[in-house]
Chains A and B, each alone.
Chain A
Amino acid sequence: MEPVRVLTAIAAPMIRANIDTDIIIPSREMKSVSKTGLAAGLFAGWRYTAIGGRDPNPEFVLNQPAYAGTRILLGGENFGCGSSREHAVWALHEYGIRAVIAPSFAPIFFGNCVRNGIVPVVLAATYIAMLESFVQADPQTNHITVDLERCEVRAAEVQRYPFKIEAEARDMLLEGLDAIDLTLKSRAEIANFQARDKLLRPWIYLETITQ
């Protein structure tokens, strides 16, 4: 996973509660068993004028020239709610998004971001509204900085908003760590746990099927 440390980039406001993963990538845009080839389907229902079409809807924020090159999204409450589909995060990442700033995230979406190099930043709605005003004045110039090292969002020099993120999630993102590699270092502990647990709860341990 590609590490994210300090990101200074164009941010697009998409401030609405409950932007769900069906909106981020409609199910019909998940066309193959793959983590890639999804960027074209990102926000498809809003981004294009017709279902399944590719004619851009000029009103959609990411289609506006002022927001070309967006890498940060400003969102509303419960961002990423709905389906667990990680395709939503893969599509965002492939499109170029590296951070989403929202007052709250759906838990599965939050976890998916952390596993894929997108920083989910929880910030109060009032601060996000200020960031929105700052960005809207001149999106191509008024960049926002998400500084994961200092756990701080900055806009120009005057606006500085600290945010909290769990150490585990922060380390994963900062170092671009592979969680599976990390966990497999605890292989012996896992085996010991299972040996003890098998005595306590034998019914949990099923026989392997024969096919």
Chain B
Amino acid sequence: MTTSTVSAPRKRRFLREQWNNLSRPAQWAILIPVVVLIYFLPVLNPPLIATTGTDFPTAMFDVARYALVAIGLNVVVGQAGLLDLGYVGFFAVGAYVAALFTSPNSSLAKLPYLWTLPLAMAVTMIFGIILGAPTLRLRGDYLAIVTLGFGEIIRLVADNVDPLRGQSGFERVGTDADGTPFFANATAWYWLTVTIIIVVLLLVGNLERSRVGRAWVSIREDEDVAEIMGVPVFKFKIWAFVIGAAIGGLSGALYAGKLGFVNNQSFDVITSMLFLAAVVLGGAGNKVGVLLGAAVVAYLPLRFVQLAEYNYLIFGIALIILMIFRPQGLLGARQRLLARGRQAYQRLLGRGEQISGESALAADTQGGPR
């Protein structure tokens, strides 16, 4: 029982096991230099990696922005297994909140830019509840279409409601009263975003390891069973939705501040799909995976400008091929459902847990189309 079935999954989990077996100080010893390196990337401007079309710090900010979005969407799609196709709607709400409270084009009272970040999160959370409360009782694939509709509604409202200024948009977003921008250069924006990413990663990581996270995973794996086992499914779905929305809104506000300009043009469905592609590509349910996915989706088109014409086509084909051959993404989901069970397994059999190494995206559940 123990030896015959282990070899294949073992190989795949080799790196992760090795990482888990390292002591905490050893993990820190590897992590800290990596993080420092990530911080200094735009300053180092390494050859080969540096982008040619856009200046490198701006490209790196874009990557960081996508990474933040991917972390937020990962809570919804990867952890709780709710397919959200209108995530760009939350991103847009965050951007518009930042714009409305900092741009001189808006008639609202001005706030310091940093204050608009928590405000954007709060407002998008409210939007998350507004959208989630009626729709999260629906089956998964209906939810996908409704969220898609929601994303479009947000975009169309931005088009049509005059105070949101449609295509003419808000200028000088993120400036204070005398018109100086919050940060002068892209590198500073990148640093701010990376710092926020680290904080958000810590918070989300803690959530995942808590009761909330276990509830999410149980909902993802099998909603009906979770309900029977006494998990308040609806409540935790709302939580996933709201937390995901808040992170999306935060990213939107950062984007608005960095760009300094918000109009209705950057919140279309394709952007939503790219966000989703980042999560699915990297591996829904795996934080490191989605960071990788976001880096791929945001960075490659900027680096290989000559392919820009084809990048959506490539993403489309890549998604199909990926779903056929590796539906769990580049890095599969980390199974967190059995934290205690894993310890028991280790004590019993002297190795890591082997139960359901695949995520909901890859598991043989009975819910799939026949």
The answer on A and B forming one complex is no
Residues of B that sit less than 8 Å from A by CB: none
Residues of A that sit less than 8 Å from B by CB: none
